[in-house]
Amino acid sequence: MATFKDVIAGEKPVLIDFSAEWCGPCKMMVPILDQVKDELGDDVKIIKIDVDKNQQLASAYDVKGVPTLMIFKDGSLKWRESGVRQATELVELIKSKS
């Protein structure tokens, strides 16, 4: 099984969505992330991480609120923001980090 470090280590940008089942704004991100995936296809990996089930990882990345979105490329953090973001903004961010 791949570790988190393995997942973010690739050349392809990885969009991480730290979220929680009980979080209303997190639920709003689902169709937005689907739009991003539809637009960028295989040019991006999108991974949803439940902070309640992955508390150690959330703590390691200092996730205080959900949703918290992060873009990684080549193993390093390129962008981070908390709150709901629109698909167009995320697509542009991912393209600019590629």
Write the CATH number for 77. 3.40.30.10
93, 15 in Cβ contact below 8 A? no
pTM of the model: 0.94
Catalogue the E-assigned strands of the chain: 14-19, 45-50, 68-73, 76-82
Segments forming the whole domain that contains residue 69: 4-97
SS3 (DSSP) at 75:
coil
* pLDDT at residue 2, rounded to an integer: 76
Catalytic residue list contains 26:
yes
Catalytic residue list contains 52:
no
* pLDDT at residue 21, rounded to an integer: 96
Q: Please count the structural domains in the chain.
A: 1
Annotated catalytic residue within 8, 14, 20, 26? 26
User: In this structure, what token pair is assigned to residue 60?
Assistant: 């390691």
- The series of mean pLDDT values per 10 residues for the chain, 98 residues long, is 87 96 97 98 96 96 97 96 97 92
Provide the pairing of β-strand 76-82 with 68-73.
Answer: antiparallel
